[in-house]
Amino acid sequence: MAVVAPGRVYRPDAVDASHSFMFNQIEGFVVGENITFADLKGVLEFFARSVFGKNIRMRFRPHFFPFTEPSAEADISCIICGGKGCSVCGRKGWLEILGAGMIHPNVFKNVGYPPKKYTGFAFGMGLDRIAMLKYGIDDIRLFFTNDARFLKQF
Amino acid sequence: MDIKIAPLALAEKLTMTGLEVKSTQQRAGDFIFEAEVTSNRPDWLSIAGIAREVAAATGAKLKEIPGNSGLRPALKKCAFKLSVENARDCPCYSLKIIRGVRVAASPPWLRLKLEDLGCRSVNNIVDITNYILFKYGQPLHAFDLDKLRGETITVRRARKGESLITIEGEAKDLTPDTLVIADASRPVAVAGVMGGKDSEVNDDTRNILLEAAVFDPVLVRCGKRLLGIASESAYRFERGVDRNNLEKASLEAAELILSLAGGSYQAERIVGARKIPDRKISLNPAEVARVLGVRIPATKIKKILSGLRFKISSGQRGCFTVKVPSCRGDLNSEIDLIEEVARIFGYDRIPSSIPSIFSSVTHDNTMDLISFIKNILTGLGLNEVFTYSLIDKKSLQDSQVAAPAAIGVCNPLSREQEILRPTLTPGLIKCVSYNLNQKQASVSIFEIARVFSLSGSGVPLENLTLGVALSGERIELLGEGQLKDRFGMLHLKGVVEVLFQRLGIRSFQFFPRGSSAADVIYGGKKIGAFLNIKKSILESFDIKNRQVVVAELSLDEVLKQVNLGKKFVPLPLYPGISRDISLILKHDVSAADLLALIRDEAGSLLGEARISDYYHGQQIPGGSKGITVSCFYRSGERTLTEEEINPLHKRVCRALEEKLEARFR
């Protein structure tokens, strides 16, 4: 089973250039009998190359999310400096774009899937953040101000 | 430990094993890392814990921290009483009594260490408790013993009416959810969060009571929220501290106090077990491969786990039995160990693959249709907008839209976000207003989003809705020159007609409601509405001297009627005859009624009838409108003649005169 679910999401953040109480998230998962962490990497790397270009590099760092294990955060090589380090990537050469991981066996148990038979990966990413990186937009509020001079660029 | 790799390489390595180093800075020949510790790893909230990770990540050998010097209390017997009301609230509590200390400033080495950790130096006693907290992750607290009443400490829930004066001097009322440390008569600290002002160690303190304990994480969190204070102690207790560290940390603190502040270690009291056994978890190497998609040899897996200081023995059927130390409270099942193996093995060394998915999916084409609709509307020159789903009550009231009951937000962040919008109209008008004020000559926008409302029975409803708003002057440069056209209701109708036509929706109708509104009807049901927004409403949205027209359509209803199937109709074999009718009609006769009557009267020979011109002006009397209808007659069987068509067309015209009081021009 492979599912992608985009939608508006909400959180109690005060609005500023990089925060919004409403934004867009794309989440998805793949569940099957032979789904592995290698598949997680392959699919998300394909996604990153499709959105940011085929020269983009991607790396996965261990992280913690309650519903996945092993969990990862994924970075792409900075699209501004190509990984050398600049102000956009905070001199690190990498930009964090999504969280992902192998679906936790407890999640399978809770929905009646035997965890010894099924594995799966799940991911979630902020669409607004990805659009900001891709197009070089420096203020998330521009997405919701709907200035015609902004809209006409897309 | 001796670290053989360069500091920046180490930072990179730690990041790639999950301890993300956010920044590095050099100070006095040392490197200071600022790391993000994920909430599942409280063991990383200490130097000792980070050292264990560095050892596992780099393969460097961890030197054991020297054991305590065997410090023992001077008195075997002591009258001081310690009791813990409920072992679940506080599984272990240890206190040490040290008498005759001299409170003073800390030596430079201690002050610098704390400074590097971002911690303010207070005095030698407090600094030692903080230093040990950072070293082992075990929070400690020192009370001024002489300020405690009645030679007794009780760990208990706060009683009704009790309060505590914080170190900041603020009196806080305590609740039964608060775990407190109390002396004979009153609470002297909120467990794990902060001590009270009354028992604080200051320059006059001579005798201290040193606390080391483990508290229930939930109770510490409650206490922290009650006080509204974040502390390094609470941060650790909330995430879980390692009980096996407790005695070692407490003794080392006592030793440091004796060496930096003097005094003598007189007595101790402990309630609860100081040690808890290692956990045993079984790991099957085949599971590692099944989850990660890479076969890591069993010897390599063992090496990784023993690098993490887990003890491994062989279990049944090729499985390992792994003994996990108490500092790793996050590890409870096989998948936790698989993550450990993956982390240290390196996510970058796991290959990438594309899964084979045999999808038996029910493909919901709503998304496709929405994107089709967006293409149609942008093709018509409209811009898609994205406005907030949370709006203020005032703009809903100001817009005067007949919307169903709105759903309110509990604890809204601001008044602008107090309800879930039951209509797109206020957001669209605001958007028009913003752009007109940015000196845009015209605004033509649409939004596709859900609106929210409460049904009569109080059930929340979500409806996918299309909103369109047009305003201002459209200027086009045509072959004949410039054409200026002010956006109005007819444009709105045109947009919706084009949309329906492209979606294959045919039998829809527009019913006017007065002169400035209309309903969109399909199958006898209202599926949308047009509105020419009133001047007074526009003024409340800061729009002056402009017309704004807005349409809202229920996309849930529209999508049900979509028919994208096409069937070819053979091209006509015989030529047809066209006739135009120019007439003056009363204003309230609708174009739909006019065309319906023409079709009725003309019958099957009428191929097409459409409005080809519309005007009002000086030649047209008031209360009327001028319309030209182009009729096209054709037969599928023969070439029609003028003689055949003229009487038919006359009959049509007569009917228009008689039934619609049309006058011909």
CB-based contact A8 B359, cutoff 8 Å: no
In this prediction, residue B530 carries a pLDDT of 95
Strands B140-144 and B442-454 turn out to be unpaired
Express each pLDDT in B166-217 by its tens digit: 988 899 999 999 999 999 999 999 999 999 999 999 999 999 999 999 999 9
In our burial notation (b when 16+ CB lie closer than 10 A, e otherwise), range B226-235 reads: bbebebbbbb
d(CA A114, CA B663): 79
**B72 — pLDDT class (breaks 50, 70, 90):** confident
Q: Contacts of residue A21 in chain B, CB cutoff 8 Å? A: 388, 390, 413, 417
The pLDDT score that the predictor gives to residue A87 is 81
Judged by average pLDDT, the poorest of A54-58, B413-417, B561-565, B647-651 is B413-417
Contact A146 B417 (CB under 8 A): no
**Domain harbouring B498, CATH code:** 3.30.930.10
State the smallest CA–CA distance between residue A71 and chain B in angstroms: 8
Count CA within 13 A, CB hemisphere, residue B368.
Answer: 6
Q: Are residue B186 and residue B323 in the same domain, yes or no?
A: no
B360 has a pLDDT exceeding 70: no
Q: Which pLDDT score is estimated for B199?
A: 95
Query: Which residue of chain A is at minimal alpha-carbon distance from B286?
Result: A116
Q: Let me know if residue B69 belongs to a domain.
A: no
| A38 Cβ under 8 Å from any chain B Cβ | yes
Do B320 and B264 lie in one domain? The reply is no
Read off the DSSP letter of residue A104: P
Give the mean model confidence (pLDDT) for residues B638-644: 92
Q: Kindly list the residues from chain A whose CB atom is less than 8 angstroms away from the CB atom of residue B338.
A: 69-70
Residues A119, A103 contacting (CB under 8 angstroms): yes
**Strand B152-157 with B81-84, pairing:** parallel
User: Using the beta-carbon criterion (under 8 Å), do B293 and A69 form an inter-chain contact?
Assistant: no
First to last CA, chain B: 102
Q: Would you call B339 and A42 a contact, using CB atoms and an 8 Å cutoff?
A: no
Q: Say whether A146 and B386 touch across the interface (CB within 8 A).
A: yes
Same domain, B155 and B16: no
Q: Which residues of B touch A41 (CB under 8 A)?
A: 347, 350-353
Q: What is the mean pLDDT of residues B10-21?
A: 96
Q: What percent of chain A has pLDDT over 70?
A: 100
Calpha distance B654→B656 (Å, rounded)? 5
Res B618: pLDDT: 81
The predicted model gives B340-358 an average pLDDT of 94
- Residues in chain A within 8 Å Cβ distance of B335: 69-70, 102, 104-105
Smallest CA–CA distance, residue B341 to chain A, in Å, is 10
- Nearest chain B Cα to A121, which residue? B291
Residue B598 domain flag: yes
Residues B554 and B634 in one domain: no
Inter-chain touch A36–B443, beta carbons under 8 Å: no
Minimum mean pLDDT among A23-32, A115-124, B79-88, B408-417: which range?
B408-417
Residue A43 to residue B355, Cβ atoms within 8 A: yes
State pLDDT tens for residues B485-541. Answer: 899 999 999 999 999 999 999 889 999 888 899 999 999 999 999 999 999 999 999
How distant is the Cα of A55 from the closest Cα of chain B, in angstroms? 16
Looking at the DSSP assignment, which residues form a beta bridge with residue B154? Answer: B83, B182
pLDDT at B364 over 80: no
Contact assignment for A30 to B40 by CB distance below 8 Å:
no
User: Of the residues B253, B271, B289, which one is the last residue of a structural domain?
Assistant: B271
* Tens-digit pLDDT profile for residues B452-478: 999 889 899 999 999 999 999 988 899
- B284 in the same domain as B258: no
**Are the C-beta atoms of residues B20 and B53 closer than 8 Å to each other?**
no
Give whichever of B148-162, B313-327, B354-368 has the largest mean pLDDT. Answer: B148-162
Split at pLDDT 50, 70, 90, the class of B359 is low
In this predicted structure, what is the pLDDT of residue B11? 95
Q: Is A21 in Cβ contact with B390 (below 8 Å)?
A: yes
Q: Do B389 and A64 touch (CB under 8 A)?
A: no
Distance CA A80, CA A73 (A): 20
Q: How many domains does chain B have?
A: 5
Nearest CB to A61; choose among B15, B352, B361: B15
Indicate if B265 and B173 belong to the same structural domain: yes
Within a domain: residue B333? Answer: yes
Q: What is the mean pLDDT of chain B?
A: 93
- Chain B partners within 8 Å of A34 (Cβ): 355-356
Specify the CATH number for the domain of residue B637.
3.30.70.380
What residues make up the domain containing B43? 7-58
Give yes or no: residues B243 and B295 share one domain. no
Nearest to A145 among B16, B41, B434 (CB): B434
Taking the C-alpha atoms of residue B88 and residue B85, their distance in angstroms, rounded to an integer, is: 9
Q: At what angle do helices B124-136 and B246-261 cross, to 10 degrees?
A: 150
Q: From the CB of residue B314, how many other CB atoms can be counted at a distance below 10 Å?
A: 10
Residue B75 lies in a domain: no
Asked whether the predicted pLDDT for residue B419 surpasses 90, the reply is: yes
Q: Do A70 and B40 touch (CB under 8 A)?
A: no
CA distance A12 to A25: 15
| Rounded Cα distance, A44 and B607, in Å | 56
B203 and B116 inside one domain: yes
Of B17, B39, B387, the CB nearest to A62: B17
Among B271, B295, B325, residue at a domain's last position: B271
Reduce the DSSP state of residue B403 to 3 states and report it.
coil
Residues of A within 8 A of B20 (CB-CB) are 61, 63, 73
- A90-149 residues touching B, CB cutoff 8 A: 90, 102, 104-105, 119, 143-149
Which of A71, A146, A152, A153 best tests the B interface by mutation, with the highest count of B CBs <10 A? A146
pLDDT surpassing 90 at residue A108: yes
Residue B361, pLDDT score: 62
B187 and B118 share a domain? Answer: yes
Q: With beta carbons under 8 A apart, name residues in chain B contacting A38.
A: 292-294, 350-353
In a domain, B2, yes or no: no
What confidence tens digit (pLDDT) does each residue in B226-280 have?
Answer: 999 889 999 999 999 999 999 999 999 999 999 999 999 999 999 998 888 899 9
Residues of A in contact with B443 (CB under 8 A): 148
Share of chain B above pLDDT 90, in %: 80
Chain A residues 61-90 with CB within 8 Å of chain B:
61-64, 69-73, 90
Residues 6-35 of A with CB under 8 A from B: 8, 10, 12, 14, 21-22, 30, 32, 34-35
Phi, psi of B178 (to 5 degrees): -95, 125
Q: Are residues B35 and B88 in the same domain?
A: no
Across the interface, whether the CB atoms of A70 and B339 are under 8 A apart is answered yes
- Enter the ipTM: 0.94
Kindly determine whether residue A34 and residue B333, on different chains, have CB atoms separated by under 8 Å. Answer: no
- DSSP 3-state helix, strand, coil percentages of chain A (rounded to 5)? 25, 40, 35
**In-domain check, residue B322:** yes
Q: Is the pLDDT of residue B611 over 90?
A: yes
Closest residue to A148, CB basis, from B294, B383, B417: B383
CATH assignment at residue B328: 3.30.56.10
Q: Is the dihedral of CA B227, B228, B229, B233 positive or negative?
A: positive
Q: Say if residue B425 is in the same domain as residue B525.
A: yes
CB-nearest to A12 from B18, B292, B413 is B413
Q: Is residue B480 part of a domain?
A: yes
Same domain for B437 and B556, yes or no, is yes
**Closest chain A residue by Cα to residue B13:** A61
Contact B475, B461 (CB under 8 A): no
Question: In this predicted structure, what is the pLDDT of residue B27?
Answer: 85
Domains and CATH numbers, chain A: 2-143 (3.30.930.10)
Domain-terminating residue out of B560, B595, B619? B560
Q: Residue B418 falls within a domain, yes or no?
A: yes
| A108 CA: distance to closest CA in chain B (Å) | 13
Please state the rounded mean pLDDT for residues A55-84: 94
CA distances from B425 to B13, B177, B373, B401, B429 (A): 53, 47, 19, 7, 6
User: At B518, which helix (H) or strand (E)?
Assistant: strand B517-522
